[in-house]
A and B are shown apart, each in its own frame.
Chain A
Amino acid sequence: MTQVALRNVYKRFAATEALRGANLELEPAEIHALLGENGAGKSTLVRVLYGLVEPDRGEVRIDDEPVSITSPHHALALGIGLVHQHFMGVPALSVAENLMLGQHGSLARRHAAACELLERYQLGLDPDRPAGELAVAEQQRLEIVRALGRDVKLLILDEPTAVLAPSEVELLLAWLSGLREEGRTVLLISHKLTEVSSLCDRVTVLRHGLNVITREVAGLDAAQLGRFMLGEAPPPPGQPPQTQPGQVALRLEAVRAQGLSGIELELRSGEILALGGIDGNGQGPLEQVLAGVRTLHSGSIELLCPPLALLSGERERTGLVLELAIEENLALPQAAHRHGFLSPRALRGSALDMLQRFGIRARPELPARVLSGGNQQKLCVARALCGGPGVLVAVNPTRGLDVAGTALVREEIRSLTASGCAVLLISTDLDEVLELGNRIAVFFRGALLPLDPAHHDRAEIGRLMLGEGAA
């Protein structure tokens, strides 16, 4: 019997059709993978299930009863829980308090219930420890147990492994198969084809808002899954640019600030220094220090090849001015440093050039808000690259981009490097770090661990991500 079914679901957001008749059927006690490129409609589908998005058309059935899920509260009551990629609890409250947030009963009873949950799932967490002190992986398990505490029958996990190091991923996956033994259903959204083929029972692949296929995973390999996602064979991974590093363009000496415990780096013109690591180990603070919005406690930053262009990782807050026109957003960096008139015709002309070069189909006089997330990201990249920077700091430059967009942006970064720009890449995507970095270092607890050039491989980076090999 089907436990949860979405049938023929349509959802349109302004200019984009996120879902165009998508179907999803989940059976009891299975681990079901939901695969698809960015923008394929995965998160919209999940948000429909969790009551965050109301579909335009289509049907949701639970245990063969048609239902209309109106809110997350309603979804939980129906036994559907969603675990976000990032910790959504209250950092200042204890583990036990977080587990029992929103539940009724006396303090003592809630504490006891929390301890019992922790016991049952063998989390090995101190119930009285503030949740904010936990490591990212521990916070994630806490989130999952919190959902299980609400007795959900279907647990949805949104790219849970993106914030984990390789060995932590294995732990999580083992844990998830334990849940399957309990008779629960897990819906796993993922980009990682290997996880899917090793753990999941069945898979649904979405492409452009439609499900391409739903079938057993057994007998499928990663290459086949990739073809389902893209409709074609995935492009081969690129190589770091082959250039001769020139003079030092950016030098950081013993930089200490909140969240940074002594960053040393020397970046040369014509090279890409790629900084990997698990999110939350100093990437944000380093970006802010370079943007000049976080105060240095000590140390120095020397910019020897100005100007510095910053491609921020927090697009929503620090990327575009969404209410300004696309052409005005593109003109902002120039407008920051000069006086005088802006000719509408010149703005329009240069904007059209950039939009074409980056394959963004939109009228430049429209507000940036109308662009999809991926196109907004491309616009940010276009703006950072086109100002002729001496140093480019790019934080997760391909976040939210599909395969073609990712390849385009990486190629642009390579050719910018070849033309003599110094690039500091900060990325939580291991593949990106390996594909672009001439040199690689890994963030760990606010410091950088350099990677031995002889060992540019995943296993070695994975070790550094967990702090092994730290002096």
Chain B
Amino acid sequence: MRGWRSVLAPLGAIGIALVALGLLLLLLGADPLRALGALMGGAFGDRNALENTLLRMCPLLLVGLGVALAFRCGVWNIGGEGQLYLGALAASALATRVLPDAPALLLLPLVVLGGALAGALWGGIAAALRVGRGVSEVLSTILLNFVALLLVAYAVHGPLQEASGAYPQSDLFPLAAQLGLLPGTGRVHSGLVLALLLPAALWFGLFRTAAGLRLRAVGLAPEAARYAGIRPERELVRVLLISGGLAGLAGALEVSGVTGRLFENLSSGYGFTAIAVALLARLHPLGVLPAAAFFAALSTGSGAMQRVAAVPAVTVQLLEALVILISASFALPRRTD
């Protein structure tokens, strides 16, 4: 019964949100079915649309997994956006400045790994502040988002700016530092395979290892976990490193697989939408996959909806907000009774 509930509740949240959106579209004088059809078409209708959706799903999936893990441990990591940017920044620095001439076989793994480590470092700062000085990670991770954005702005206007100096962006990555495309696709990078394997891996880690049990225990009842011999502080540090690392990985994949270079506004808020993804997934690693696909589809389909059905694209943001509110209010796993 518990199992069913965890699947049905998110679907219910989406259903209610869709009905509410439909009513709103009626009020606006639009045809809700036509608008929804356009949304679906824009997200999945042709190959281009589908590839777009997959590309957007990738960072949502990775950051969403990190958020889900952190929330499960009772650690409110709101800093996915900053951690993602730091990953992108580190990957770009490695690819265009530090190691551009490294052997091709090494360069790409180093770039991706460097991005993940930089994201972990960014999460680690929040962890150190929490454990060392008692600073709430909610505050520190939010504030570190701004620091990361400013660091990227500084980098693309300064040390990492392209050689021509024309735009505030980095040089194009050398080919050896760019992710290859999946065979048979026009734009989808091979990093997606890694992203698709991670939910199952993290499910295993969470539910079939000692470390996963510790993490869940700390999230549900930190004092009971402490009395059972677990050190909650250690779990907090670990989960923030992992969570930040996943966001950093997402950033690295964006620059080396999608854009090929670093610039401001690279992310379009993946780090924040990922929180909604994790909530809709009820913090379950396997649920993050469909939840990320859902939010990715919304964002790719909204443009088509605007064009075809003459509905403002912002109504999609409304839908996203409704889904988040509804899923946060009754789809979140309950902690007591």
Q: List residues of chain A with CB under 8 Å of any chain B CB.
A: 291, 293, 307, 310, 312, 317-324, 328, 331-342, 344, 369, 383
How long is the Cα–Cα vector from A307 to B310 in the complex, in angstroms?
69
Contacts of B211 on A, CB cut-off 8 Å? 335, 339
A324 touches B220 (CB 8 A): yes
CA distance A233 to B271 in the complex (A): 67
Asked if B227 and A321 sit within 8 Å, CB to CB, the answer is no
B224 on the interface (CB 8 Å rule)?
A: yes
- Which residues on the A side are within 8 Å of B194 (C-beta)? none
> In the complex, are the beta carbons of B217 and A321 less than 8 A apart?
yes
**In the complex, what distance in Å separates the CA atom of A291 from the CA atom of B225?**
12
CB of A321 within 8 A of CB of B226, answer no
Q: Which residues of chain A come closer than 8 Å to B209, judged between CB atoms?
A: 339-342
Q: How distant is the Cα of A317 from the Cα of B210 in the complex, in angstroms?
A: 22
**B230, CB-defined interface residue at 8 Å:** yes
B interface size (C-beta, 8 A): 22
Contact B335 A332 (CB under 8 A): no
Q: Please give 10 more A-B residue pairs, beta carbons under 8 A apart, in addition to A291-B226, A291-B227, A336-B214.
A: A293-B226, A321-B224, A321-B225, A323-B220, A332-B217, A332-B230, A335-B217, A336-B230, A337-B229, A341-B209
Q: Which A-chain residue is minimally distant from B337 (CB atoms)? A: A369
Which residues between 220 and 237 of chain B lie within 8 Å of chain A, taking CB atoms?
220-221, 223-231
Which of A293, A320, A334, A369 is B210 in contact with, Cβ under 8 Å? A334
A318: contacting residue among B216, B217, B227, B231, CB under 8 A:
B227
Considering the complex, give the chain A residue whose CB is closest to the CB of B333: A323
Tally the A-B contacts, defined by beta carbons under 8 Å: 78
Q: Which of chain B's residues have a CB closer than 8 A to the CB of A369?
A: 337
Q: How far is the CB of B274 from chain A (nearest CB, A)?
A: 24
B147 contacts the other chain (CB 8 A): no
Which B residues are CB-close (under 8 A) to A318? 223-224, 226-227
> Of B208, B229, B336, B337, which one neighbours A332 at CB under 8 angstroms?
B229
Q: A291-B226, A291-B227, A293-B226 are in contact. Are A338 and B221 (CB under 8 A)?
A: no
Which residue of chain B lies nearest to A367 when distances are taken between CB atoms in the complex?
Answer: B2
Residue from A317, A336, A339, A344 within 8 A of B229 (CB atoms) = A336
> In the assembled complex, how far is the CB of residue A91 from the closest CB belonging to chain B, in whole angstroms?
22
- Selected from A323, A331, A341, the residue in CB contact (under 8 A) with B335 is A323
User: Which residues of chain A are near B208, meaning CB under 8 Å?
Assistant: 341-342, 344
Q: Which of B220, B223, B337 contacts A317 (CB 8 A)?
A: B223
Min CB gap B224→A, angstroms: 5
Chain B residues with Cβ below 8 Å from A334 are 210
Q: How far is B214's CA from A369's CA once the two chains are assembled, in angstroms?
A: 18
Q: List 10 A-B contacts (CB under 8 A).
A: A317-B221, A318-B224, A320-B221, A321-B221, A322-B221, A335-B211, A335-B214, A335-B217, A339-B210, A340-B210
Docked CA distance A189–B216 (Å): 40
Contact yes or no, B224 A338, CB < 8 A: no
B106 at the binding interface (Cβ < 8 Å): no
Known: A310-B227, A344-B208. A328 touches B221 (CB 8 A): no
Q: Are A335 and B210 in contact, with the CB atoms below 8 A?
A: yes
B213 within 8 A of A: yes
Interface flags for B223-265 (1: CB within 8 Å of A; 0: not) read: 1111111110000000000000000000000000000000000
Q: Chain A residues near B231 (CB, 8 Å)?
A: 336
CB distance from B332 to the nearest CB of A (A): 13
Distance in Å: Cβ of A65 to nearest Cβ of chain B: 34
A322–B337 Cα distance when bound, in Å, is: 9
Assess the A331–B213 pair: CB atoms within 8 A.
yes
Q: Give the shortest distance, in Å, between B18 (CB) and chain A (any CB).
A: 31
Q: What are the 3 A-B residue pairs with the smallest beta carbon separation, nearest first? A: A336-B229, A335-B210, A332-B228
In the complex, what's the smallest C-beta–C-beta distance from B132 to chain A, in angstroms? 16
Most B Cβ at <10 Å: residue of A318, A321, A338, A342: A321
Give the residues in chain A near B337, CB-CB below 8 Å: 369
Say yes or no: B224 contacts A317, CB within 8 Å: yes
When distances are taken between beta carbons in the complex, the residues of chain A under 8 Å from B210 are 334-335, 338-342
A307–B229 CA distance with the chains assembled, in angstroms: 10
- In the complex, the answer to whether A335 meets B224 with C-beta atoms within 8 Å is no
**A324 with B227, Cβ < 8 A, contacts A335-B210, A341-B209 known:** no
Tell me the bound Cα distance from A324 to B211 in angstroms. Answer: 14
Counting chain B CB atoms within 10 Å of each CB, the highest count among A319, A331, A335, A383 belongs to A335
Q: Which residues of B contact A321 (CB under 8 A)?
A: 216-217, 220-221, 224-225, 228
A344 CA to B220 CA in the complex, in Å? 20
